[in-house]
Structure 1
Amino acid sequence: MRTYQGSCHCGACRFEVDMNLDHVRSCNCSICKRRGALIHRVPTAALRMLTPLDDLSVYQWGSKTAKDYFCPRCGILPFRVPSAPTAQELAQGKQAFVGWAVNVRCLDGVDLAGVPVLKVDGAGLAI
């Protein structure tokens, strides 16, 4: 387990997160493929805000169960609350995740060259 420092591009949003960075997720849904974020999920208590969460903007779409937090100044998304499982995922036995999805590209000192990438087929899920 390691503590990482993170921020948006302009530094208006700062945070730290405790994680074992053993993989990242790359999703092919319409928003993720445009955003290019590489995500790692952590429990709620693992992410600590160093600047107020209320200073960020929130984007929601589709089921309105996910919350994408982004800096209103520079537009970078440092983390999000993942969406609730779809009916299809629940039928397949998927459990709801409680925590944060951190954009690893916003963390200081991470060399992504050696981090395995898990492909997520978000485009194939029915909402």
Structure 2
Amino acid sequence: MTQTHYIARCHCGGIQLALTFPKGVNNVRRCDCSMCRRRGAPVASVSLANLKLVSGAELLSCYQFNTHTAKHYFCSRCGIYTHHQRRSNPQEYGINLGCIDELDPFAFKDAPVMDGINHPADREAS
């Protein structure tokens, strides 16, 4: 059976997230928006209810830009991006798969790249 429960950690281990992927880790993707292009992390999504902050609330920082819809979370101590509340579906979090010890982020070589540069919400905000 496919593993569905994981712990994601930032580099220093201060932030820990308990994740549940009900159907396993699927729909892995990358994005070419200005933020994702710079961090280069493959992501998979979980619903808001399937992410629990286990530890590190005091270390969790949030960055927003452009439409201020997406919320990009990172550790204020080590700087690692752990997850973000998605702009295209605010009912989901995108999870940095590099933060899950049991997964190899380089194994997702065929992950499609989403067109974040031309996101429909950017045209609406103009």
Query: What band does the TM-score fall into relative to the shorter chain?
Result: 0.7 to 0.9
Q: What is the CA–CA distance in structure 1 between the aligned matches of 2:104 and 2:59, rounded to whole Å?
A: 29
Residue 36 of structure 1 is matched in structure 2 by: 40
- TM-score, structure 2 normalization: 0.82
Residue 104 of structure 2 is matched in structure 1 by: 111
- TM-score, structure 1 normalization: 0.82
* 1:49 partnered with 2:42: no
Structure 2 unmatched ranges of 5 or more:
none
Percent of aligned pairs with the same amino acid: 34
Q: What is the CA–CA distance in structure 2 between the aligned matches of 1:9 and 1:47, rounded to whole Å?
A: 18
Residue 99 of structure 1 is matched in structure 2 by: 92
Q: What is the CA–CA distance in structure 1 between the aligned matches of 2:17 and 2:103, rounded to whole Å?
A: 15
Q: Is the 8 A contact 2:84 2:93 kept in 1?
A: yes
Structure 1 unmatched ranges of 5 or more:
86-95
- The count of corresponding residues between Structure 1 and Structure 2 is 116
Structure 1 stretches of 4+ with a deviation exceeding 6 A read: none
**57 and 97 in structure 1: CA distance in 2 versus 1, 3 angstrom threshold:** closer
Residue 88 of structure 1 is matched in structure 2 by: none
Q: Is the 8 A contact 2:71 2:85 kept in 1?
A: yes
